[in-house]
Amino acid sequence: MAIDGVTGAQVEVIDGRPPSVRLQVESGTDRRVVGELVQEVLTRHGLSSRIAAVPPKREAPPDAHDTTTGAASIAPVRHLATLSVEEGRSRVVVTARDDRDGVAEVASGTGRRALRDAIVSATARLVDESAPSPSVVAIRRGTEGERDVLTVVLDRGAGRLTVGSAFVAVGWEFAFARAVWAALVD
């Protein structure tokens, strides 16, 4: 598969994280068009990207030479790094952290539903602290091969549904938070 204007690509895959892609783009190529084409390819495969805004072009003096490499400006993607649950007799505190030192903490009452809602709220606050917390529409557990998978459907308001999935590696709480994160960073 080839996209006009792309001269090279590097893909970095780290266990448990979405792949990271860095593109080399020919000088003079419209990076927005390349970004849109890349997004179309990713969407066909159930993936998405976060492409940084391309800075406005500066007018160069007429005698200036283009010495840039033409690297596409793709923003590094944040990832949910940890989720901790501190339980007491009358409350639970959920703390979500991303890989860029972002932290969100939510305290709630006890019980399974309260824990679930606190995980959703903490994860949503970490993704976008100004957005209202989504509500859970459905949670599905399944298997893919020998691995357990958790899928969540969220309502982000006005019937805007999003879905995210994550493999269960250790505990359901972190897998659930990762599925919520995937649903929110679409």
Q: pLDDT per residue over 104-115, tens digit each?
A: 999 999 999 999
Neighbour order of strands in the sheet with 92-98: 80-87, 92-98, 103-108
To the nearest 10°, report the CA torsion of 39, 42, 43, 44: 130
Which domains does the chain carry? 1-77 (no CATH), 80-184 (3.30.160.270)
pTM exceeds cut of 0.85: no
Per residue in 78-104, pLDDT (tens digit) is: 889 999 999 989 999 999 999 888 999
